[in-house]
Chains A and B, each alone.
Chain A
Amino acid sequence: MSIDDTIYAYAVGRIRALETRLVDRARLERMIDASSAEEALKVLAESDYANAIAELTDVHDFESILAAELKNTFDLIFDISPRPELISIMALRYDVHNLKVLFKAKYLGVKSDLLMLVGSLDLDKMEYAVSEDDYLDLPPMLRQAAEGISEDFLLNRDPQVIDLYLDRVLYDQLVTSARENGSKFLEGLFVRQIDLTNLRSLVRVKRMGLDRELLTKIFLPHGSIQLDRLTAMLDEPLESLITMLSMSDYADLAAEGVRDWIDKGTASRLEKLSDDYITAYLKPSKWTPFGLEPLIGYLWAKEI
């Protein structure tokens, strides 16, 4: 125990109280049974979402409730965490999400997703940077990616580069920051997310009949499954992927998820299993008495 974990005592006590107000199964069922959106919203108002709902003007604008609540949650956890820098690692994802939305809006002329207020960067600055093609104000790693995207897009006119560049930078940064802060727990979380993303990429590339060049391009480093093991799978049937993973932590997930993908042709089961897998990784946070884990577990519970 290098760092005294009892510095988290206050934060964990508070999270324990908040966890009782998460939307549980019983409440969710009452919402499903509700006759209208207004009724369902009333049920939700009994939970922790009450504040966000009070600010709501249009009942059907529930996406913005969720976004607002996520923002509240992040602010709260950031405030009560004795090491807020670890929480800002978790917020990185939203900076990258916002950049993606802005780039897509610029190159494709569509506004596909909501901008999230959670990130640590100023949204106006980011909007300005993307629209003026001037990325000097962004943090170095995002700046590199953004410059890469704008150059690449000029050459190839392929909007896929946006996700490609930014995902790579995101996970690279997540793992590096977790290591810098000496958080084995966060590092483990990100490595698992990277592995799951890589697995999904592999299956997707294979089903579309594309080549290893693409897989190499979208492969995220830092995972526990190496690139060459994945590219080797390209020449074999998908069933052998299940065999390869049968000795790893992902055995059950691969067996059920990949099988379902082969049979039904949709990734939804694998996506669901991936979420479940991460939830299982975070499960011990429910009974860890002190430390960062309960805070991250609570964030995850709010995110999905």
Chain B
Amino acid sequence: MNLLSILFGLLFLVSPPAQNEGLKYLDNAIAKFKGIKGYVVDVKVHLDLEAVKAPDMEAKVYFKEPDKVKIDSKGLFFMPREVGVINPRKFNPDKYVIQVLDTLTYEGEPAVRLSLTPKKDESGNHDIVLTIDEKDWLIREIGTAPSPGRTASAKITYGEFDGFMMPVKVDVKLDIGKVNTQGREFEGRRMQMNQMKGTVEVYYSNYKINTGLSDKIFEKREEQ
């Protein structure tokens, strides 16, 4: 048996446990959310983006498993798509190759960083990096790069509501580069918005969990 065969053999033996280990962490994080069938929460968003000037925006967000979302707001309301509604179930292990990047200490507790790479190169699928604490099995940070030159990362702070650990604040750092200007033709002008970066703070309050949300609420989705 030559050296190359031995190396291939080792690689074969080592790879599945790395995937399995990562899967274990992700499964634990998903399990933490398992008892949640649906919830309603008041959300307040504070945008601090270079290219955007907007007042603080408020809305009521409805969530129902597996991934139904409805947003009710009096005025305009924007919330980062990737990290605004925290739902570990959307990180479906069947759709990703999961790898442990490293272990670390996160706010004094042991944590692990996982890399999720989409198995299929489909639109909307992109690499995700999750930081999961090993004490509470909560996703503490999410990092995504939806497309080249676009990054979003979120740091999540949790609070306990009805026995569930739910986000109370998400600090998002956005750098989404150039915004497609096609829609602005409506105003009769074309422009380049190349400084769409900054921070977004999302605050969550008044959780009402597992109150039995009807599907009718989600029939007319305002999400665009």
A binds B: no
Question: Chain A: residues with CB nearer than 8 A to chain B?
Answer: none
Question: Chain B: residues with CB nearer than 8 A to chain A?
Answer: none
